[in-house]
């Protein structure tokens, strides 16, 4: 089988949508990573296998998958021919953090109408000058998502998310020092904890070690700067990487293609 890696990414002029990302991968596997946005995913061909909240999940083509922010997940092909997907990264304009628990519980929604509406939204986003239509379709999509998630919240008593104060303090430090970085010893001094205990607390709370969280957030920042039109060399420094080679190594691992190719795929 020939390995295929095709991507197209852009930031539309529609409030609430941080990025549109279309991709076709035959073999690429995403390592565990995290976003600060909601990930709204549909698969047009094949299927994706992923872990979310320490449970294995799947995305057959007749579902809509909603991955919440701040919750680590990975992804790999679940079918021999790989998968073709369309993704929207949404900020908290339409979906609030109070819905995260319900999304973690069951992120894959078998809802033919919702699946149709998400496809129509992608269609509108791909046509120049149709921002009003796209915004209207986005409103219908997020309204249905909120309805589905709130029904779950009333029907099922969900456990509280593991989010101890120590782990949350470190996450806030990493977010604040995203570009400049921070040493583990300095972070430990600031939160008054032993370095090893701090790493264990963060990993237990968020499902990934702090260095991997920091790298994922830097790659996310790099994606947005590339969509702004900046060159990979400039983006590397602005996103907190040592140099372009450092950025490329982690970007390819998390996105599936190097930053230069991703930038060429801008709509």
Closest CA to 47 of 68, 8, 75: 75
pLDDT in tens, 93-107: 888 888 888 888 888
pLDDT in tens, 115-130: 999 999 999 999 888 9
Residue 113's pLDDT band, with cuts at 50, 70 and 90, is very high
Q: What is the mean pLDDT of residues 233-248?
A: 95
pLDDT in tens, 144-167: 999 888 865 555 444 444 458 999
Question: Domains (ranges, CATH) in the chain?
Answer: 5-155 (2.60.120.10), 165-264 (1.10.10.60)
Higher pLDDT, 32 or 90: 90
pLDDT in tens, 184-207: 889 999 999 988 889 989 988 888
């Amino acid at each position: 089988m020939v390995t295929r890696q095709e991507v197209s990414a852009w930031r539309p002029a529609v409030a609430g949508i941080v990025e549109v990302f279309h991709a076709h991968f035959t073999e690429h596997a995403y390592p565990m990573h995290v976003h600060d946005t909601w990930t709204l995913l549909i698969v047009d061909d094949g299927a994706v296998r992923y872990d979310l909240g320490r449970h294995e999940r799947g995305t057959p083509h007749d579902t809509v998958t909603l991955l919440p922010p701040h919750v680590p997940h990975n992804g790999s092909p679940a079918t021999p021919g790989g998968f073709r997907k369309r993704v929207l990264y949404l900020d908290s304009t339409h979906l609030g953090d109070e819905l995260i628990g319900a999304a973690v519980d069951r992120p894959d929604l078998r809802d033919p109408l919702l699946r149709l509406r998400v496809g129509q939204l992608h269609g509108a986003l791909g046509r120049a000058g149709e921002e009003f239509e796209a915004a209207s379709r986005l409103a219908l999509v997020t309204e249905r998502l909120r309805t589905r998630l709130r029904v779950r919240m009333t029907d099922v008593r969900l456990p509280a998310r593991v989010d101890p104060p120590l782990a949350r303090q470190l996450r806030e430090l990493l977010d604040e020092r995203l570009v400049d970085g921070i040493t583990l010893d300095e972070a430990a001094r600031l939160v008054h904890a032993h370095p090893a205990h701090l790493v264990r607390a963060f990993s237990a709370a968020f499902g990934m070690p702090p260095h991997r969280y920091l790298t994922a957030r830097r790659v996310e920042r790099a994606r947005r700067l590339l969509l702004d039109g900046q060159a990979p060399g400039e983006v590397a420094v602005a996103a907190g990487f040592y140099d372009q080679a450092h950025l490329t190594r982690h970007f390819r691992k998390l996105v599936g293609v190097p930053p230069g190719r991703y930038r060429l795929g801008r709509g």
